[in-house]
Structure 1
Amino acid sequence: MKAIVMIDYGTPDVLQEQEIAKPELKETEALVEVFATTVNSGDHLILSGAFRDIIPLRFPHILGIEIAGVVREVGANVTHVKQGDRVIGLAATGGGYADYAVVEEKGLTVIPSTLSFEETVALPAVGLTAWQALFPYGQLQPGQRILIHAGAGAVGHLAVQLAKQHGAYVIATARAENHEFVRQLGADEVIDYATTDFGETVRPVDIVLDMVRDGGDTERKSYTVLKEGGKLLSLVSPAIDRNPRTRGIEARFVRVEPNRSDWLSLIRQVQDQQLKVHIDRIFPFNAEGIAEAHRASGTGGKKGQLLIARDR
């Protein structure tokens, strides 16, 4: 089969197409023919080498943790999916940038025929991150005030929608050119982080969702806008769990876990047109397209999700 592999850490230039053997199944896995995948922030950080101490790799390595496609084979102990099912999946160790990927059964869920791969492929990781950050971790309640950093991004644009639908007062940061987009998602206030110090303008909030990689500046400033007893939820700083409590503020790193019930809730909202996965751009499913998608991911400023999809 064809696969787009990384042959070393570095820039997108280390991605190349290779012909490799189709992966073999374990009893708890399914083989999925991949029709769509994404450039997840995790993929981008693994490629750069930023996670080399956390996730050591053997090269060549196939990136792509979010997939959408059709089940072609199942392991002996797989019961939730069957051959021919249209699925979305979270491939925890990667594998999506290939013709076929093997995914643990717990990382897969079936999608209805009424939804496309393109509008659901971002749900396995990006959608799940937004959902679990807001609800299992944040315990967001109607009427609470929440500050969502990077509100126009892949996770942010879904978190804004979900929080607003849940009855929260939503404040988001975004580039000036993305303000109207974020307001249309439901944000009550939008702050231009390039020109405005949110620490001086945001009135106290119950929850902050931080996904900004800036050396911890946004994290430190976020403490100043939280109410006593509030929650600071980070998608970028695993060490935040060890922070001493300040004014009763609970600081937690969001560790996303596959959860079929959460996925089904997200799928249902997409079906009911309550949740919209905005696609910024779709790139071709080849080495050049995937490399270009990673370059676009590194520049920032996108609205929603970057997808990689095959012609069908």
Structure 2
Amino acid sequence: MSASMRAVEIKDGKGPIENLYIASIPKPVPTNAQALVKIKAFGLNRMDLVQREGDYPLPPQAPKTLGVEFSGIIEELGSSPEKGFQVGDEVFGLAYGGAYAEYIAVSTHMLVHKPKELSWEQCAGIPETWITATQALYLVSHFTPGKSILWHAGASSVSIAGIQLSVADGASAVYATARSDAKCDFAVSTLGATAAFNAKTSDWAAEVLKATDGKGVDIIIDFVGGEYFAQNLDAVARDGIIVNLGFLGGTRVPDGTDIGAFIRKRITFKGSSLRSRDEVYQGKLRDQLVEHALPRFVDGRFKVLVDRVFDWERIQEAQGVLERNETTGKVICTIS
């Protein structure tokens, strides 16, 4: 068996899309609870773009190779894998990094058996996005049935998952924002959102207040950050919570932002991330995904929406589509 494999590398360690190329690197060796998985497909995420540019704070256990979600076949096991996993098993999973490659060594505690009803491409698009949405909805915002919720970037992969979870689990209303009418229509007609507002052409906070008779929403899940900060304070309800997961709109709040709503409305603002969490925490989320969402993937109640699939040798083109915000759903690369 060869001791090397092909993987996507970054010329000079960081830089623009043009710096991505495929090179030969050492193949990882599984230890302890790990499995060596031969990758069939991997999912792209915005954190990959930030990491490629050298601006993502990697956890210490992460390899320099990009990619955190994948599907494939177990080829080798470490000395103490989780029970239920064997060589030859078809799986998908979440990793701290290393998925843009032919092989990955990953903890079996973060693997899920691939259902026959789902494709390699669909399974590669589940772990990061659906676990992130699960974490934000249940562990961070403490969602319960009957609460209303707003998902920003409504056609992004995490919000696609989150909107479906919110609708299925009894939210009183589910709202979304997006930056095109087509994506707003998608959030309503395909995902089941109550309403969606074009953040480029409307005052979405005013629209949320109008839709809720001035009350606002109980929960806001935000990936935009500074650009939406003041409007989030307007749109959230009394005793509501704003969960920040990203900074697509920068980290600086607009001049003149009034933070008085924190006291007037008794607002909670929480920031969260998934990749920096330890394996025990991530493993509990994996279990929740398996118990709560996996049966709904299998019977079709939950949709795994793959926007485009590229051969991984077209990785520059694949990341470009994501970087230009041209997607509605996941971008997946396959390895033949």
With the length of structure 1 as denominator, give the TM-score of the two structures: 0.90
Identity %: 30
Q: Within the alignment, does 1:138 sit opposite 2:164 as a pair?
A: no
Equivalent of residue 229 in structure 1, options 234, 239, 256:
239
Equivalent residues in 2 for 1:1-312 (5 A)? 1-7=5-11, 8-51=13-56, 54-55=57-58, 61-80=64-83, 81-92=85-96, 94-168=97-171, 169-174=173-178, 175-184=180-189, 185-203=191-209, 204-212=216-224, 216-236=226-246, 245-246=262-263, 247-256=265-274, 257-258=281-282, 259-264=285-290, 265-286=292-313, 289-311=314-336
Q: Distance in 1 between matches of 2:217 and 2:129?
A: 24
Contact 1:153 1:301 in 2 (8 A): no
Aligned length: 300
Local SS of the residue matching 2:287: helix
Stretches of structure 2 that go unaligned for 5 or more consecutive residues are: 210-215, 253-258, 275-280
Please give the secondary structure, in 1, of the residue aligned with 2:218.
Answer: strand
Separation in structure 2 between the aligned mates of residue 108 and residue 235 of structure 1, nearest angstrom: 24
4+ runs deviating over 3 angstroms: 243-246
Counterpart residue identity of residue 253, structure 1: G
Q: Secondary structure at the match of 1:200?
A: helix
Can you give the 5+ residue segments of structure 1 that lack an aligned partner in the other structure?
none
Whether contact under 8 Å (1:65, 1:96) holds in the other structure is yes
Query: In 2, Cα distance between the equivalents of 1:79 and 1:10?
Result: 38
CA deviation after TM superposition for structure 1 residue 253, in Å: 1.6
Deviation (angstroms), 1:199: 2.0
Kept in 1, the 8 Å contact 2:218–2:240? The answer is yes
The 2-side partners of 1:50 and 1:207 are apart by 29
Give the structure-2-normalised TM-score: 0.84
Offset, 1:139 = 2.0
The CA distance in 1 between the partners of 2:121 and 2:9, in whole Å, is 22
Do the aligned partners of 2:82 and 2:109 also contact (CA within 8 Å) in 1? no
Report the Cα distance in structure 1 between the residues aligned to 2:175 and 2:148, rounded to whole angstroms: 8
SS in 2 for 1:202: helix
1:10-43 deviation per Cα after TM superposition (whole angstroms, max 9, x unaligned): 1111111111221122212110000010111111
* Contact 2:70–2:123 (CA under 8 A) maintained in structure 1: no
| CA offset digits 1:228-276 (Å, max 9, x no partner) | 1101011116x99xx9954321111223342331220222210121110
Taking only aligned residues, the RMSD between alpha carbons, in angstroms, comes to 2.2
The Cα of 1:56 is off from its aligned counterpart by 8.1
* Distance in 1 between residues matched to 2:181 and 2:99, nearest whole Å: 33
1:292, 1:98 → 2: CA distance?
A: 17
